[in-house]
Chains A and B, each alone.
Chain A
Amino acid sequence: MRGAGLPAQHMVKVRVRWGRVLLASVGLLFCLAMSVVLIAGAAEKRSGDGFPYAVAAVLLLLCASAATYVRWQLVGRECIRMDADGLSYWTTGSPWSGRHVIKWHELERMEQAPDAAPMWWMEQWGLGGGRIVLHHSGRRTRFGMDLDPKEAAELLGRMQEEFIARRQATD
């Protein structure tokens, strides 16, 4: 058990789905090439038609989405931290961190539940999913979308120990 007062942080690495990474990478390159061709072609012809630019813009958006997904798959992590303020969780390697904080007095209980996996393309946005369910203020928040049951049980045990240590320190 860690000493109370020191922040404890746990990180869960995203399990890489190489097939999806490959697919997204190919899609990224294709969209990038197509958008370059479209923009270059339209610029060369000096056409006033905005359609090629609009298509290129859509393709570039798809590029950005594919790039963020590849990054999420390769370096993405879910992080959870316990300190004096409470329990905070966020993601790294994703388009935004989605940081949330649950104050200690708001935390009711924690449990492991069957993973409610989000659609794969939603993972990087940190939407839903995860085997660890945090009950707080009457609500539920999930964490640990790539944990297997054994890892989830171990992490729950560690979080419980941290909680007890902090409570004993403040009693």
Chain B
Amino acid sequence: MRKFFAAACLLAVQVTFAQTNISFVGQLSYQQLRNSNLSNLWGYTDEDGNEYAIVGVNGTNAQNPGGVSVVSLADPANPQEIFFRPGPASIWREVKVWNDHAYITTEAENGGLVIVDLSPLPQSTALNSVVWFDPTWTTSHSLFIDENGLLYIHGSGRGNGGVIMYDLSDPMNPVEVGEFDQWYCHDSFARGDTLYAAHIYDGFFSIVDVSNPAAPVLLGTQTTPNLFTHNVWLDDSGNNLYTTDERTNSYVGSYNISDPTDIQFQDKLQSDNGSGAIPHNTYWLNHFLVTSYYTFGVTIYDALRPHNLVEVGHYDTSPFTGDGFNGAWGVYPFFDSQNLIISDIEQGLIVLAPTYVRACWLEGNVRNAVNGFPVNNATVSITGVITADPTSISGTYATGYHTPGTYQVVVSAPGFLSATVEGVVLESGEVTFLDIDLVPLVAFTLQGSVVDAASGDPVPNAHVRLTSPTYDYEVLTDAQGIFAVPGVFSDDYNVVAGQWGWRTHCPVQQSIVIGGPSLTIELERGYYDDFEFDFGWAVSGTATVGHWERGVPVGTTFNGVFSNPGADVPGDCGAQAYVTGNGGGAAGNDDLDGGNTVLTSPLFDATTQFDPHIRFRRWFFNAGGSGAPNDRMRISLSNGITTVEVLNITSSSSAWVPVDVRILDHLERTPNMQLIVFITDDEPGHLVEGGLDLFEMVEMSPASVPDQQAEQAFSLWPNPSNGQVEIQMVSPLPATVEVLDALGRMVQEGQRLMNGRATLLLDVPAGTYLVRITSDAGDRSVQRLVIGK
């Protein structure tokens, strides 16, 4: 029953995963079989054509050892382990096969080189295996074996950890024949008398003449896109080399290496753009690149045109997303059956059936329609398809898609009118050439002014920003509140303006065209900051990293929840907030460390209001580290004379929490008020992240309650009343109702609403009162109530 349930779960998981031109065949869960994750794998075919997977098993302890697992794929839908050689636990095992022997490297202490004799298969599963040791090293990272039986060991503990070459004439007793140890080598490919080595820490690959292994000769080197060259693989022609960089958001690269002294970059391609997914190992097979892509699973790129790689197949083996070393570690695509076997770190051995389809290529030039010059950095996108390619400085582009059809192609470039080409036919295995001329736009100077909404007075030094998908301009107004934005192109812009002491004018999209009217933007007085602009908040403190910074929050996660917020508070003018450290990556990379950081607001004048409240949203996340989290966020108010702490937050939450602070509860109002947000990482260290957004000062005196706004949240009647008042919320939420007098004093406290309704029985003198409803989520609504007796 348990097996049936597990199989049903596996099937359900597989059905939900994304796939293109690759289908699921079978799976062997090593979590169930050996309570273990996996590392790399390779394939083997016996003399009868039976296929096997040779799988590196991590292991965890003596009860669940690591080792090498040999799996029969006679029924690929139901893979069966037929042999297991235990070894020390390690997250690194790399496998290659030469003739009838499998060779396995590991970084486990004293792991040596495991050699498994596969020749008894299929008659017997009693396989002979040994751990072979070179006296000069005990661990190594990976290996490659060329067609001549030359074994290349990478990343051993000897010297720089370069390449050591062994002759496998006696398969169980390798004999060293040479070494290339100029740089650490992570992986390599070799054919004939040439070695192609990936130097991960140096960020490049090298091409080395190893015709005499005892005296290798360096022929050339080339950096790779993300400077972390993880693996390389050569095509059959020997002219094109493909690479991966094991970095977040990195690429599979394509290089023409026909002249090793003048290596030419040809193209690079990234799957699941911007998600952070990491390509791991890529292999060339019949003009396709099959790549294990960690959390994104497995991809197939068409590499028939090495300058225009196009993704034509994908299967997501992993429930994980984004960056992180989870999911597909290795893939083996070289079986005659064409089945792919994948070692997914957590999901186990997965067997997939690919359908190799040729890409539909789209290539051409983008030119200036007036002078015929090439247009650099124009974006060419196929509508409805998540693919876009920028033009080169020569105006050329090369893109494509896996599915033939008739598409719309849109080309846009800064300073040019976008062009749309309808009815572009893309066919499988065909190149569609499409040259496009873009009409240049005329730049002009946009003028306007920012004025006070009530008085019409100019607002000097106000920030004005115009943004469109293509353009972004920001200027300040002069002393007369006038601004001029030079070099503007006609487009639909979001216009936003703000200044400290006025409420930011939120984006309103409007068409701005040459010869159009000048802009007049009205700002209402008030203190408001959603951090769309830099109004001069000051940052200080002793922390070594993770100080407050303004920006679009880059989310980091810890145990499945956001540590640094993934976004600012929704509903404000922009996407920015203040957060502590915003470098992204792992949760601990850029959180607050080694001290405190303090964010201090510009001065604000609280004497302009009778009963001012400060409202904002704060974020405080505190977890991980050693022992119970012990850090805190302290929020203080200063009136220029006295500073008082109004909040001391020690409980962690992964959410923006609304805060309302009544100034008169803490301090006398002055023109020199400041909000101070202090956050500290005390010893011992833990994850600490803070945030602040949507700051505003609001009047809560009855004399200035905006009834119209309040009526949208709840109704009260009769009004005027003799003391008995019915209240009905528009949207019934868990909430509390309070009544305040004209001086802001509480006359009725905390009555709960039932199903959004309440009846107030007020025994108070005649006069004007304030009815305030506060939802449990912290949202407040107020209305004026008149009591007549």
A-B complex is real: yes
Q: Is the CB of A164 within 8 A of B390?
A: no
CB A16 to nearest CB in B, in angstroms, measures: 19
Q: Which of A112, A137, A163, A167 contacts B223 (CB 8 A)?
A: A137
Kindly state the separation between the CA atoms of A137 and B393 in the bound complex, as whole angstroms: 13
Kindly supply a per-residue 1/0 record for chain B positions 616-636, scoring 1 wherever the CB is within 8 Å of any chain A CB and 0 otherwise: 000000000000000000000
Kindly state the separation between the CA atoms of A107 and B377 in the bound complex, as whole angstroms: 12
Closest residue of chain B to A157 (Cβ to Cβ) is: B415
Kindly state the separation between the CA atoms of A109 and B268 in the bound complex, as whole angstroms: 14
The verdict on A3 contacting chain B, using a C-beta distance below 8 Å, is no
- Residues of A contacting B376 in the complex (Cβ-Cβ under 8 angstroms): 109-111, 156, 160, 163
Q: Which of B227, B472, B474 contacts A139 (CB 8 A)?
A: B227
Kindly supply a per-residue 1/0 record for chain B positions 463-497, scoring 1 wherever the CB is within 8 Å of any chain A CB and 0 otherwise: 00000000011100000000000110000000000
CB B602 to nearest CB in A, in angstroms, measures: 17
Q: Is the CB of B374 within 8 A of A108?
A: no
- Residues of B contacting A108 in the complex (Cβ-Cβ under 8 angstroms): 265, 392-393
Q: Which of A105, A110, A149 contacts B264 (CB 8 A)?
A: A105
Residue total for A at the interface (Cβ-Cβ under 8 A): 21
CB B57 to nearest CB in A, in angstroms, measures: 35
Kindly supply a per-residue 1/0 record for chain B positions 243-283, scoring 1 wherever the CB is within 8 Å of any chain A CB and 0 otherwise: 00000000101000000000011001000000000000000
Q: How big is chain B's contact interface, by range?
A: 20 to 34
Kindly state the separation between the CA atoms of A57 and B227 in the bound complex, as whole angstroms: 36
- Residues of A contacting B487 in the complex (Cβ-Cβ under 8 angstroms): 150, 153
Which residues, 380 to 433 on B, are CB-close (under 8 Å) to A?
390-394, 414
Kindly state the separation between the CA atoms of A96 and B394 in the bound complex, as whole angstroms: 33
Q: Which of A109, A137, A153, A164 contacts B265 (CB 8 A)?
A: A137
Kindly state the separation between the CA atoms of A161 and B192 in the bound complex, as whole angstroms: 46
Kindly state the separation between the CA atoms of A160 and B226 in the bound complex, as whole angstroms: 25
Kindly state the separation between the CA atoms of A167 and B629 in the bound complex, as whole angstroms: 62
Q: Which of A106, A138, A150 contacts B486 (CB 8 A)?
A: A150
Kindly state the separation between the CA atoms of A63 and B46 in the bound complex, as whole angstroms: 70
Given A138-B224, A138-B251: A111 and B390 interface contact (C-beta under 8 Å)? yes
- Residues of B contacting A149 in the complex (Cβ-Cβ under 8 angstroms): 472-474
Q: Is the CB of B392 within 8 A of A109?
A: yes
Q: Is the CB of B223 within 8 A of A109?
A: no
CB A148 to nearest CB in B, in angstroms, measures: 9
Kindly state the separation between the CA atoms of A75 and B102 in the bound complex, as whole angstroms: 63
CB B224 to nearest CB in A, in angstroms, measures: 7
- Residues of A contacting B227 in the complex (Cβ-Cβ under 8 angstroms): 139
Kindly state the separation between the CA atoms of A71 and B268 in the bound complex, as whole angstroms: 40
Closest residue of chain B to A168 (Cβ to Cβ) is: B373
The verdict on B222 contacting chain A, using a C-beta distance below 8 Å, is yes
Q: Which of B391, B472, B473, B474 contacts A109 (CB 8 A)?
A: B391
Given A110-B376, A111-B377: A163 and B393 interface contact (C-beta under 8 Å)? yes
CB B365 to nearest CB in A, in angstroms, measures: 13
Closest residue of chain B to A112 (Cβ to Cβ) is: B414
- Residues of B contacting A114 in the complex (Cβ-Cβ under 8 angstroms): 472
The verdict on B526 contacting chain A, using a C-beta distance below 8 Å, is no
Kindly supply a per-residue 1/0 record for chain A positions 97-125, scoring 1 wherever the CB is within 8 Å of any chain B CB and 0 otherwise: 00000000111111110100000000000
Q: Is the CB of A110 within 8 A of B377?
A: yes
Closest residue of chain B to A167 (Cβ to Cβ) is: B394
Q: Is the CB of A164 within 8 A of B225?
A: no
Kindly state the separation between the CA atoms of A38 and B392 in the bound complex, as whole angstroms: 59
Q: Is the CB of A109 within 8 A of B390?
A: yes
CB B291 to nearest CB in A, in angstroms, measures: 16
Q: Is the CB of B374 within 8 A of A164?
A: yes
- Residues of B contacting A106 in the complex (Cβ-Cβ under 8 angstroms): 265
Kindly supply a per-residue 1/0 record for chain B positions 203-238, scoring 1 wherever the CB is within 8 Å of any chain A CB and 0 otherwise: 000000000000000000011111100000000000
- Residues of B contacting A153 in the complex (Cβ-Cβ under 8 angstroms): 414, 487
- Residues of B contacting A139 in the complex (Cβ-Cβ under 8 angstroms): 223, 225-227
CB B179 to nearest CB in A, in angstroms, measures: 29
Which residues, 130 to 165 on A, are CB-close (under 8 Å) to B?
136-139, 149-150, 153, 156, 160, 163-164
Q: Is the CB of B253 within 8 A of A138?
A: yes
Kindly state the separation between the CA atoms of A153 and B377 in the bound complex, as whole angstroms: 12
Kindly state the separation between the CA atoms of A138 and B227 in the bound complex, as whole angstroms: 10
Q: Is the CB of A160 within 8 A of B223?
A: no
Kindly state the separation between the CA atoms of A137 and B266 in the bound complex, as whole angstroms: 8
Kindly state the separation between the CA atoms of A154 and B226 in the bound complex, as whole angstroms: 29
Kindly state the separation between the CA atoms of A107 and B224 in the bound complex, as whole angstroms: 14
- Residues of A contacting B265 in the complex (Cβ-Cβ under 8 angstroms): 106, 108, 136-138
Kindly state the separation between the CA atoms of A163 and B392 in the bound complex, as whole angstroms: 12
Q: Is the CB of B251 within 8 A of A110?
A: no
- Residues of A contacting B394 in the complex (Cβ-Cβ under 8 angstroms): 167
CB A153 to nearest CB in B, in angstroms, measures: 7
Kindly state the separation between the CA atoms of A105 and B393 in the bound complex, as whole angstroms: 10
Kindly state the separation between the CA atoms of A136 and B393 in the bound complex, as whole angstroms: 10
Which residues, 10 to 63 on A, are CB-close (under 8 Å) to B?
none
Q: Which of B268, B373, B393, B472 contacts A138 (CB 8 A)?
A: B268
CB B368 to nearest CB in A, in angstroms, measures: 10
Closest residue of chain B to A163 (Cβ to Cβ) is: B393
Q: Which of A110, A112, A150 contacts B393 (CB 8 A)?
A: A110
Closest residue of chain A to B225 (Cβ to Cβ) is: A138
- Residues of A contacting B264 in the complex (Cβ-Cβ under 8 angstroms): 105
- Residues of A contacting B251 in the complex (Cβ-Cβ under 8 angstroms): 138
Kindly state the separation between the CA atoms of A60 and B265 in the bound complex, as whole angstroms: 45
Kindly state the separation between the CA atoms of A112 and B377 in the bound complex, as whole angstroms: 9
Closest residue of chain B to A140 (Cβ to Cβ) is: B225
Q: Is the CB of A109 within 8 A of B222?
A: no
Closest residue of chain A to B397 (Cβ to Cβ) is: A109
Q: Is the CB of A109 within 8 A of B225?
A: no
Kindly state the separation between the CA atoms of A171 and B377 in the bound complex, as whole angstroms: 21
Q: Is the CB of B393 within 8 A of A109?
A: yes
- Residues of B contacting A109 in the complex (Cβ-Cβ under 8 angstroms): 376-377, 390-393
Kindly state the separation between the CA atoms of A163 and B222 in the bound complex, as whole angstroms: 24
Closest residue of chain A to B245 (Cβ to Cβ) is: A138
Kindly state the separation between the CA atoms of A59 and B733 in the bound complex, as whole angstroms: 63
Kindly state the separation between the CA atoms of A109 and B222 in the bound complex, as whole angstroms: 19
Closest residue of chain A to B251 (Cβ to Cβ) is: A138
Q: Is the CB of A160 within 8 A of B253?
A: no
Closest residue of chain B to A137 (Cβ to Cβ) is: B265
Closest residue of chain A to B222 (Cβ to Cβ) is: A137
CB B412 to nearest CB in A, in angstroms, measures: 13
Kindly state the separation between the CA atoms of A140 and B123 in the bound complex, as whole angstroms: 55
Kindly state the separation between the CA atoms of A112 and B391 in the bound complex, as whole angstroms: 14
- Residues of B contacting A156 in the complex (Cβ-Cβ under 8 angstroms): 376
- Residues of B contacting A110 in the complex (Cβ-Cβ under 8 angstroms): 376-377, 393
Closest residue of chain A to B226 (Cβ to Cβ) is: A139
Kindly state the separation between the CA atoms of A148 and B264 in the bound complex, as whole angstroms: 33
- Residues of B contacting A160 in the complex (Cβ-Cβ under 8 angstroms): 373, 376, 393
- Residues of B contacting A167 in the complex (Cβ-Cβ under 8 angstroms): 394
CB B369 to nearest CB in A, in angstroms, measures: 15
- Residues of B contacting A105 in the complex (Cβ-Cβ under 8 angstroms): 264
Kindly state the separation between the CA atoms of A159 and B589 in the bound complex, as whole angstroms: 37
Kindly state the separation between the CA atoms of A114 and B576 in the bound complex, as whole angstroms: 14
- Residues of B contacting A138 in the complex (Cβ-Cβ under 8 angstroms): 223-225, 251, 253, 265, 268
- Residues of A contacting B374 in the complex (Cβ-Cβ under 8 angstroms): 164
CB B523 to nearest CB in A, in angstroms, measures: 24
- Residues of A contacting B226 in the complex (Cβ-Cβ under 8 angstroms): 139
- Residues of A contacting B224 in the complex (Cβ-Cβ under 8 angstroms): 138
Kindly state the separation between the CA atoms of A33 and B162 in the bound complex, as whole angstroms: 49
Shortest beta-carbon contacts, A-B, top 6: A138-B225, A137-B265, A111-B377, A138-B265, A138-B268, A109-B393
| Sample of 16 more A-B contacts, CB < 8 Å, known A137-B265, A138-B224, A167-B394 | A109-B376, A109-B391, A109-B392, A110-B376, A110-B377, A137-B222, A137-B223, A138-B225, A138-B251, A138-B253, A138-B265, A139-B227, A149-B474, A150-B487, A153-B414, A160-B373
15 A-B Cβ contacts within 8 A? A107-B393, A109-B393, A111-B376, A136-B265, A137-B223, A138-B253, A139-B223, A139-B226, A139-B227, A149-B472, A150-B473, A156-B376, A160-B376, A160-B393, A163-B393
User: Which A residues have a C-beta under 8 Å from some C-beta of B?
Assistant: 105-112, 114, 136-139, 149-150, 153, 156, 160, 163-164, 167
